[in-house]
Structures are given as structure tokens and as C-alpha cells.
Structure 1
């Protein structure tokens, strides 16, 4: 996987591919290297390098430089990453508060919609009654998607297979048409037999899946223009679903999905408790910029063993470079404080 394939992970920190390439180059750049020389070595324009340096400085990945033509020194990866992770954590806490506020408004919004749906002014709102009708409407919405399908998925489920597993929604079909599909699944739904394996199969087909806890509701949003809110009591054959396509969609429902999505964990990620203490120590030293020989001395093992373990960890973290492995480890909370 090249740098482009890793852009999503780097962008999670608020930076782009240019910043990653420039920062990695700064870590190895000889003293007195000019911006022009750096730009030529990376195949970038001087302007792009300058913009990347400005962004790195804003995120505290570099030390200040006195001369404009000179290059700044790179902050140690572990220090820079921890500072940025702390900043992102503060931002997530703020978003978490927003999510709590949105979560509290879901029932109120649904009640307001139900109270107005039978009035002449109830434009952009559709009521769908009965399990079969709801399933048909969901299928119709998914088929109509041209850009994106976004789902919040949590128990209870309206229909089940004989083995107790909830009937799957066919979201692989729009993926084959080039439609982006994102599914945030409540961790409680993974307890159904075969559910995790089925989600893994969808992920292999191109569906983006994340797992969260205590999802506030179920919903399906298509092309950010129409959202279906399933009934709270999925087992009630007379229950109603709401299909919303007015301003409430952009004001509450789409932000609700995005807040849940940002807090959820990509399916297939290695969990925090599966890393050993020795691996955590090795990753922390790696992020600190120590050489292989120094890490081997600290761990009292052969340098070849260090390199084999680093290669294995990079594969587990889906990282091409050691710096990428450090970022991934920091994002997952694997670095020793």
C-alpha cells in the first residue's frame, strides 16, 4: 500500500499526503537542505512544500525556523503524535457532547414528525406502515442511491433468519455500482451468530463498516437527501417508519450519523488488548525515533529480532513506513505514555 492508500489514516489527524511526505523527508534531511532541494527530491513544487511546511508548523510537527529559506527541524514523532492525539481527543469530546445533544433530540424529532404527518403541511415526510412495506421501502431507497448509502444499524431487528441472525440488508449491490456505502454497527448486534463474519464479508466487497457502542437509533440515509427512520419497536407488525426529505435531514439526521461514524472503530482493527507489553514498548521506541540497534540494546534482543518484530507490527497496522506504524499505534492508544 502506497502513501495514497494511507491517506485516510493520515487525514484522521487533520493533515494530507503532502504533509506526510514532507514530514518524513524532514526526519532524514541533512542540515542546510533548502526548500528547493527538498521539493525536487519529492517531486513537488516549492509552493506545495511551503504549504505543507506551514500546515506542519500549525500542527506542531516542526520547530520554528529563523530564516524563511531554511527548513525547520522536525519534532520527534512520538512528541508530535501525542500532542496531536490530545488535540483530536479534545475535539472528539466536543463532538461527543454534540452527539449527546443530537441523541436526545431523536425521539422529539420523531414525535414532531408523527404529529404533523397527517396534516396538509406535512411536506417531505412519508409514513410507511407494516414490516413488509418498510422492508420494500428500504430496498427501494438503496436501489435508488447514486452517490452514498449511510446506515446506523443496531438491535432489535425486524426480521431474522431461522438461526436468529438478522436478515441482512443488500448493500453490496450499490457498491458494485460505485456507490459509497458506510455502515456503523452497534457492538450489541455482533452477538448474533454469524453477524461479524457477514459484516467482514461485506467489508471485503467494499462496504465501509465501523463498530460503535450505544448507537442512539437506527437510520438509513441515501445521497444525503432522504432518510428512513425505522420504528423503535421492530417486532410490532403495525409499527411505522418515517421517510424524511426536508430540512430536518441536514439539520439533525446527517450530523447524527457523522458524529457516530467518527467515534466508531473500523471493523477488522486489531483491538487494544491484543498487543503485548513488549510490542507496545517497541512501538513507543520506534515512534521516538530510536535506531534498531538502540532498541535491541534496550530490549536485550538481537537487532534482527527487532527488525522482524517491526515488520510484523507494520503488517498488523497496515502501514508501509515506520512512521505510519507510529501514527496508527498512537491512534489506537498503543503507545506507552
Structure 2
């Protein structure tokens, strides 16, 4: 797990280091812990307070240090908080969709856009596909996509099982960074996984999620297209959002879905490929056990346990045991 992913869960690098130190019982008191971490006492107190606030530790008793929560339980608490935020943003997006008819009525005067409200309504699959192509052609830095079925045929009439107007390969060839979250059900379309895999090899950053909340195409964080949910309706409307307030609500929605999604190519499969002994060790780390306790559970010397822990961290691409436990919990590897 990367530092960015931990930050998404509300935990920065300094908080993680402090939490790791609490797990390892490296200090008898706050003064000693501050020296070990090379932090001023005031800074340490703030970090400890944040750990308690985020459910990663229980409040200190007397002059002692806060007691760290087991990583698996702590990460689940953070995930539940992020899920609640995602539900809230999804509800906000649904309210936005409910205003589409009202906006359409205001825009029937023939004007292609509504600068005063920052929203354009596009009607019909062909027009939506053409608008998507136009927006993507203007992309300079990055494109973010939430992709889920049902799909709309592109302006050329092709049934390509994809969001309309998306030529990902052309974007990648121009050096535009493209991130997409694919709905798991959408990958069941014939040839879908194969075509996505080819794009990933060309530089597409793709993740997979269950029940992607909406379709969304965001270009350079300045303009967002919300394709219609009902792809079969020729009167379906899409919203092109350029208003800063709405844009600032939609991009956080994408980032939340992105952070919860699984990188395409198999973190789940990676766990399945772990030997049974490493899976057992992963569970012990996530439970917050100390090295000595892990060694006793495995029936080995503590030095052997530490070597196995180091090997597991290397296998998972994690720098710390907390990252390994957090990664396993986020990906659903642990019950």
C-alpha cells in the first residue's frame, strides 16, 4: 500500500510511524517515544490525538501512552468512514441528476451551454458520444473515468461495450494520464477484459470495483461529463458540468471510488498465490501481535519470525507491517 492510499484513509506518514511504534511497544512513555521518533513532544501529542480520533488507538490512562488497536479492526473503522462519505457524495450526485429535466427546460432556447449555471445538457446517444469525443480531444494532462454498464453505442454506431466516445489509446499516445474504475459486471462483456488488458500494457491505470455508483468522465479536473444511466433511451440526457462547486464535488467522488477499488491484474489473485504459512503470518500481523507473540504462535524463534515478516513485506510490496495488514484488509484478504 502506498502512502497516498494511507492518506486517503486519513492517515499520514507521521501518524503511521507513530502507530507502528505503539504497536512495537518501543517506548515506556511519551517523552521516550518522542525521542525515538525524533519529534517535539507537542507534535507527538497531536499525532497521538489523531490516532485516537481515527480509532487507531484507545485513549491513554494516566500518564501512559494510548493503547494501539489491532490493524485489521482499525482499518475497517477507517474504511467504514470512507464508505459513509462515498454514500453521501453518491446521494449528492443523485440529487444533481434529479435536476437534469429542470435544466433541460431552461436550455431549450438553442444555446449550447449555460454559462450562468455552468451546466450543459446533451440529449441523445449520438450527441453524447460526439460531446465526449470533443472533451477528450481537449484533454492535456489527465482523464478520470468511472465506467459501468449499461453502455451507449458510439457516434459511429459501434457496439463496443464502453462509455461513448472514448478512444483511450489515442489519449495515451498523446501522453495524457488516464485512470479508470471499471464496474466488475462490465468486465463480463465479450472481449472486454482482453481489450482493457491491452490498454493497461500501454499505460492505462485501471481498477475494478463492485457497484460503481455512476458513469463519469472528468477532463483535466476542469470539466466533467455525466453520461446517462439509461443507455437505451434515445431521449436520455448527459450533463456537462463546468461549475467549480459541482466539479469539486464530483472529483472527490471519483477519488473515493478509485481508492476503494482493486488494481486490475489481481491483488486478490496475489493473495490466493501466497503460501498458507504467509497467509497465516499476514493474519497475525493484521491482528497487531508483537514479534514474540507471532513467534510463539508459529512455533519458531523470534529471529526466524522477523525474517519471515521481512520476506512477506517484500512479497506484498509493503514498507511496514501496518501497510501489509492494511492492504490485506482493504482488499478483502482477511475475514
**TM-score, length basis structure 1:** 0.71
Aligned to 2:18: 22
The CA deviation at 1:283 is: 1.7
Q: Would you say the 8 A contact 1:23–1:74 is kept in 2?
A: no
How many residues are aligned here? 322
Give 2:262's match in structure 1, choosing from 226, 251, 265: 265
Q: How does 1:158-307 map to 2 (within 5 A)?
A: 158-159=153-154, 166=162, 169-171=166-168, 181-203=178-200, 207-232=204-229, 234=231, 241-246=238-243, 249-250=246-247, 253-254=250-251, 256-258=253-255, 260-261=257-258, 263-271=260-268, 274=272, 279-287=278-286, 288-291=288-291, 295=294, 298-299=297-298
Distance in 2, matches of 1:161 and 1:101, equals 33
1:72 aligns with 2:65: yes
**TM-score, length basis structure 2:** 0.72
Show CA shifts across 1:287-333 (max 9, x none). 332437x5465346898996786556434532123232122223234
Distance in 1, matches of 2:181 and 2:284, equals 34
Gaps of 5+ in 1: none
- Pick which of 125-134 and 225-234 moved more: 125-134
Distance in 1, matches of 2:236 and 2:34, equals 66
Give 1:138's match in structure 2, choosing from 132, 138, 153: 132
Q: Would you say the 8 A contact 1:165–1:194 is kept in 2?
A: no
Give 2:105's match in structure 1, choosing from 115, 126, 142: 115
CA gap of 1:230–1:173, structure 2 versus 1, over 3 A, is same
The CA deviation at 1:7 is: 0.6
Show CA shifts across 1:233-257 (max 9, x none). 5467786644232477348645654
Distance in 1, matches of 2:60 and 2:255, equals 36
Structure 1 vs Structure 2 CA RMSD: 4.4
The CA deviation at 1:158 is: 1.7
CA gap of 1:281–1:161, structure 2 versus 1, over 3 A, is farther
